[in-house]
């Protein structure tokens, strides 16, 4: 589905990353692999370091920390927030919505909208789309888009498919109306037939967590995980991304009447370096235009990986420059979504540590 928005813009991005850093080598002994093979995996996939939270830290903790930073430094005012959207797969509770908890924590005005959206790898783009739609209302002038995922407790430490790459994090993106005639192009696709390709089988209503779902079992490749853990069928995800994302990028560039070279950066979700390099080659752009440094620096924080990529690679430069970006997220759902958007003269764009 193609979508187009006018007169909307991002005015600031703050990324919150946990201070706790884990090295790939720290956990290499967990995997049913020789050291030599693990190091080959590290090199091919671009794994190195990841940031994960201390036990007990939740998505709302990271969001509250970031919002507090913005309020205390008088970067945004509480009373200006007309909507609070939280995109997460790891809410604090099944109910109530975590966005309401955050609203209550800061005693924000009642005359506003809070909503949680359950999306992952494409969650940044879907959150931006929802923000732009809300800004179509006369009474909504400033949307705070929160993306947060704390998936590290949901991953088996003995699962080399997922554990080396999963990181935690949150981002806060301020989205506002734009008086300039800005145009934003989006494309979104979904395929629920692939819903089990990336899943946490137990813990919901269909299969509640129990002693039985917590039993670690070995898969064909020697990974140990329980039904309470994240399961990623990596080869299927890889093939889905390689098949679906390049044509989506071609189509969105055509809609926007842009050439590949007119995009300054392709800021994509970052599951691993190998996947991104293959995407860059297929799309026909230099690998330098598609940063792949984040998964090895901070880990893959699901819906937060795109704002981390922006903040880390061009953070300060966005304060005084204009960038035409192509964003793309792909994964759980299955969902894949892309967006062409300008970032210009942001009020802030940085990473802080929790």
Partner 1 sequence: MASLKIKIVKILNEIRPEFDFSEPIDNFIEVGMLDSFDVVTLVTSLDEEFKISIDGVDILPENFATLECIVDLLKKYVDK
Q: Rule CB under 8 A: which residues touch partner 1?
A: 37, 40-41, 43-45, 160, 221, 234-235, 238-239, 241-243, 274-275, 277-279, 281-282
For the chain, the residue count is 354
For residue 330, what are its two tokens? 């792909």
Residue 299 C-beta: closest distance to partner 1, Å: 18
Residue 227 C-beta: closest distance to partner 1, Å: 22
Specify the residue, 4 or 217, whose C-beta has the smaller distance to partner 1.
Answer: 217
Residue 282 C-beta: closest distance to partner 1, Å: 6
Specify the residue, 177 or 282, whose C-beta has the smaller distance to partner 1.
Answer: 282
For residue 288, what are its two tokens? 């330098």
Nearest-angstrom CA–CA distance, 33 and 28: 8
Going from the C-alpha of 325 to that of each of 249, 289, 291, 309, the distances in angstroms are 12, 10, 12, 12
Residue 268 C-beta: closest distance to partner 1, Å: 13
Specify the residue, 119 or 272, whose C-beta has the smaller distance to partner 1.
Answer: 272
Specify the residue, 167 or 234, whose C-beta has the smaller distance to partner 1.
Answer: 234
Residue 291 C-beta: closest distance to partner 1, Å: 18
Residue 269 C-beta: closest distance to partner 1, Å: 15
- Contact of 334 with 195, CB cutoff 8 Å: yes
- Contact of 206 with 100, CB cutoff 8 Å: no
Specify the residue, 120 or 234, whose C-beta has the smaller distance to partner 1.
Answer: 234
Specify the residue, 242 or 293, whose C-beta has the smaller distance to partner 1.
Answer: 242
Q: Which residues contact 111 (CB under 8 A, 6 or more apart)?
A: none
For residue 197, what are its two tokens? 């390709």
Q: Which of 193, 173, 75, 66 is nearest to 129 (CA)?
A: 173
- Contact of 18 with 53, CB cutoff 8 Å: yes
Q: Which of 232, 95, 228 is nearest to 166 (CA)?
A: 232
């Amino acid at each position: 589905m193609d979508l187009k928005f006018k007169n909307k813009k991002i005015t600031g991005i703050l990324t919150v990353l946990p201070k706790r850093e884990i090295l790939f080598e720290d956990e290499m002994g967990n995997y049913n692999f020789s050291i030599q093979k693990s190091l080959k995996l590290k090199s091919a996939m671009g794994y190195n370091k990841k940031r994960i939270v201390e036990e007990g830290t939740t998505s709302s903790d990271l969001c509250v920390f970031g919002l507090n930073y913005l309020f205390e430094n008088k970067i945004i005012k509480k009373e200006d927030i007309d909507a609070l959207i939280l995109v997460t797969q790891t809410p604090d509770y099944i109910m109530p919505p975590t966005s309401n908890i955050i609203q209550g924590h800061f005693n924000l005005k009642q005359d506003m909208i809070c909503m949680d959206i359950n999306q992952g790898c494409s969650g940044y783009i879907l959150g931006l789309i929802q923000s732009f739609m809300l800004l179509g209302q006369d009474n909504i002038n400033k949307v705070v888009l929160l993306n947060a995922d704390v998936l590290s407790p949901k991953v088996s430490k003995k699962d080399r498919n997922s554990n080396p790459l999963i990181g935690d994090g949150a981002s806060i993106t301020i989205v506002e109306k734009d008086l300039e005639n800005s145009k934003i192009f989006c494309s979104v696709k979904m395929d629920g037939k692939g819903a089990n390709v990336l899943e946490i089988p137990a813990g919901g209503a269909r299969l509640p967590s129990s002693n039985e779902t917590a039993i670690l079992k070995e898969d064909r490749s020697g990974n140990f995980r329980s039904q309470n853990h994240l399961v990623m069928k990596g080869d299927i995800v890889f093939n889905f991304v390689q098949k679906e994302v390049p044509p989506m990028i071609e189509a969105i560039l055509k809609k926007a009447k842009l050439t590949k070279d007119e995009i300054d950066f392709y800021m994509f979700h970052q599951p691993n370096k190998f996947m991104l390099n293959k995407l860059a080659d297929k799309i026909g752009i230099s690998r330098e235009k598609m940063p792949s440094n984040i998964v090895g620096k901070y880990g893959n924080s699901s819906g937060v990986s795109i704002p981390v990529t922006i903040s880390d690679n061009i953070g300060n430069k966005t304060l005084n420059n204009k960038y035409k970006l192509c964003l793309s997220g792909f994964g759980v759902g299955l969902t894949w979504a892309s967006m062409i958007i300008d970032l210009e003269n942001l009020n802030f764009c940085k990473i802080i540590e929790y």
